[in-house]
Amino acid sequence: HLPQMIVALIRAGVVATDLGRVLALQSDTATVRLIDIALERRGPAPSAWAWMALGSTARREATLASDQDNALAYADEDGDEHYAAVAADVNEGLARCGFGADNAEVLARNRQWRMSEADWRRVFRDCLEQPDRSHLVRAAVAFDFRHVCGGLQIVRPLVEIERQAPAHQNFLRRLARTATDWEPPLG
């Protein structure tokens, strides 16, 4: 019922920025409930974990055309099989709720977007230190993240790495260059 709700809010005069926040809140609420259901089904998590929204949902700028972009971090190297099953359940559930799966598979069910906290830290550092094309794409998606739920304290360590970006001039230069790769349709 998301489209009908958004139409009703538009007709009530709600501004676009608030609509994005409403959609992000709906996504977060559905995600938390689906995680609860998945954990009931799959059993308790073997370690602390954190579900993260990425992209427009993380920025609270979602639209009805936005798809799922999410990731999962967990404290222990062990247990990925459990988290893979939970993530698959949640991604499937979100799709049934109207939040379509990302075409590029930026989904927690994908091993690239589901990893230990240590691996997340390594990936963020690699993005800054080795800004090749794939790391720039990864940074463009992953650096816009927001903790949705779970007890793993992942935000501070990742933000501390992001704050080191000014010291990585090659990363900044190449990231700025990617912004000019896409030409907006003017005219």
Give the C-alpha distances (Å, rounded to integers) separating 50 from 96, 151, 166, 172.
22, 6, 27, 28
The pLDDT of residue 186 is above 90? no
What are the tens digits of pLDDT across the range 149-176?
Answer: 999 999 999 999 999 999 999 999 998 8
What are the tens digits of pLDDT across the range 103-152?
Answer: 899 999 999 999 999 999 999 999 999 999 899 989 989 999 999 999 99
The pLDDT of residue 187 is above 80? no
